[in-house]
Amino acid sequence: MSQFPTLRTNLCPSPDLCGSCGWSHIPYEKQLQQKLSDINGSFAIKKLRYTVEEIIAAGKTEHYRNRMDFVIDFQGKMGLREKGKWWSVIDDHTCFLGDVKIEELFKITRDWTKTAGLTFFDRKAHTGLLRYAVIRATSIGESMITVVTSAPKDEIERSSVVKALQDLAEVSKATTVVWSINHTITDVSFGDELITITGDGVINENIGGVKYRISPNAFFQTNSHMAAVLLDTVREFAGDLTGKTLMDLYCGTGFFAVAMAGHAKKTIGVELNPDAIRDAKVNAEINKVDVTFHDVATEKFDWMSLGADVVILDPPRSGMHDKALADVIAAKPERIVYVSCNYKNFARELQQLQLHYSIESMRAVDMFPHTPHVELITSLLRRPPAVQA
């Protein structure tokens, strides 16, 4: 009998309409096999002679996402977008991948939109207020509702939004409710002005004994349940950091840097997102570790003179900027730990990295059950200089 759960027919009520999961029709054991096959297939296409044989299964395959971004359309429908149709919202549709607390708060927020007395954003006419409701929940029981709106027309409308959000805070009992104002017509689920309605405007998480603060616009690992496994793998692959300088590029809110700083002589984090850097500095403070953070794009930061012995790379899905990759190769750190959420881009970059580094370990961690996505962690050790004849 398989140790993995088999497919239940009621996992997703709208599998043909919603593209949030994609693989919910595949038994979980086969999903894991397929992910390994896809990774190794990408390596083969790039003529790389490496094989990933280990994948760590998710301990929880449902209700594992700690963040869901729900769309509110011009008719007041609220839910997830229909697959392939940016303009169409599946009303009252959450997702079985989202935390159960998120589902609870979704129902409350959707009901609130019907009685809040606020207009709905028309993505074609660029009129109206309500655009998104971003709901987050942490493993320690905290929750955040961020309501994204257009900019109010005047003080009367601004007061109406504040009053409505105060009502939402009261009925939802969320740890914090935040008003996020998007002053542009760009259709994104975040704004450039944040107003805290209730609570501290942030929520807290604890992963493997490390404390993290999460603000509305900052990225955090989507799967809190598997984040500790990811962290442990990176720690293992980084090796003994005693007396060494650790560089965490694309560090975000300091997920790796803060957790590992206590073991290194010096730790440096680099991140483009200023909101994330602010959180990272707080995270270092509350965990009582010393990390130097730089708010700058990795490809624009001259870090090669800082003498990094171990470099962690955790770039976005698009992969590394060409200059950033060239800088890493030129800096020649002793060890690289590459955390990739896009193995196809990693395979392309590995074609260059393998000329200077040998692969010590590779391991996949399934952070995203019922989707084709997977995290691939690789430990690369600098090759010794060629022996002169």
Instruction: Tell me the pLDDT tens digit for each residue of 302-359.
Output: 888 889 999 999 999 888 999 999 999 999 999 999 999 999 999 999 999 999 999 9
Q: Tokens 């088999």 sit at which residue? A: 6
User: How many folded domains does the chain comprise?
Assistant: 2
Residue 175 and residue 107 in one domain: yes
Same domain? For 81 and 176 the reply is: yes
The predicted pLDDT at position 1 comes to 32
Tokens of 268: 């440096």
* Whether residues 338 and 362 fall in one domain: yes
Residue 287 has pLDDT above 70, yes or no: yes
Q: Which residues of 304-334 are buried (b: 16+ CB within 10 A; e: fewer)?
A: eeeebbbbbbbbeeebbeeebbebbbebebe
Q: What pLDDT shows up at residue 7?
A: 44
Residues 132 and 51 in one domain: no
User: Is the same domain home to 320 and 180?
Assistant: no
- Which single residue is written with the structure tokens 């997102």? 273
Q: What percent of the chain has pLDDT over 70?
A: 96
> Is residue 84 domain-shared with residue 202, that is, in the same domain?
yes
Where is the domain boundary, 206, 235, 267? 206
Mean pLDDT, the chain, integer = 93
> Do residues 49 and 77 both lie within one domain?
no
| Residue 387: pLDDT band with limits 50, 70, 90 | very low
Residues β-bridged to residue 65: 98, 223
Identify whether residues 120 and 229 lie together within a single domain: no
Residues 221 and 259: beta-carbon distance below 8 Å: no
Task: Write the pLDDT tens digit of every residue in 100-119.
Answer: 999 999 999 999 999 999 99
Does residue 188 lie within any of the structural domains? Answer: yes
127: in domain: yes
Q: Which residues contact 371 (CB under 8 A, 6 or more apart)?
A: 21, 22, 23, 97
Residue 360 counted as domain residue: yes
Residue 285 lies in a domain: no
Whether residues 97 and 202 fall in one domain: yes
> Residue-wise over 147-164: b if at least 16 C-beta within 10 A, else e?
bbbbebeeeebeebbeeb
**Residues 53 and 73 reside in one and the same domain:** no
For residue 8, pLDDT beyond 80: no
Token duo for residue 107: 């129902």
Q: Does 132 lie in the same domain as 74?
A: yes
- Indicate whether 162 pLDDT > 60: yes
Residue 264 has pLDDT above 90, yes or no: yes
User: Nearest to residue 335, comparing CAs of 303, 351, 359, 315?
Assistant: 359
> Hey, what are 187's tokens?
């259709």
Per the structure, the complete domain to which residue 116 belongs is given by: 67-206
The pLDDT assigned to 9 comes to 53
Q: What is the pLDDT of residue 305?
A: 84
Domain termination site, one of 177, 206, 235: 206
Does residue 105 lie in a domain region? yes
Name the β-bridge partners of 203: 214
Q: Which residues are the active-site residues?
A: 341
CATH code where residue 44 lies: 3.40.50.150
122 with 143, same domain: the answer is yes
Closest CA to 28 of 56, 68, 70, 66: 56
- Residue 328: helix, strand or coil by DSSP? helix
**Structural domain includes residue 126:** yes
**Which residues touch 378 (CB under 8 Å, ≥6 apart)?**
237, 336, 337, 338, 340, 346, 350, 359, 361, 362
- Characterize 279-302 residue by residue with b for buried, 16 or more Cβ atoms within 10 angstroms of its Cβ, and e for exposed: bbbbbbeebebebebbbeebeebe
- 388 pLDDT exceeds 70? no
* Whether residue 386 has pLDDT greater than 70: no
The CATH number of residue 145's host domain is: 2.40.50.1070
Tokens 């590992």 belong to residue:
260
- The three-class DSSP label of residue 147 is strand
Residue 142 lies in a domain: yes
Q: Is residue 294 part of a domain?
A: no
| Distance separating alpha carbons of residues 147 and 130, to the nearest angstrom | 8
**Phi and psi at residue 80, in whole multiples of 5°?**
-100, 155
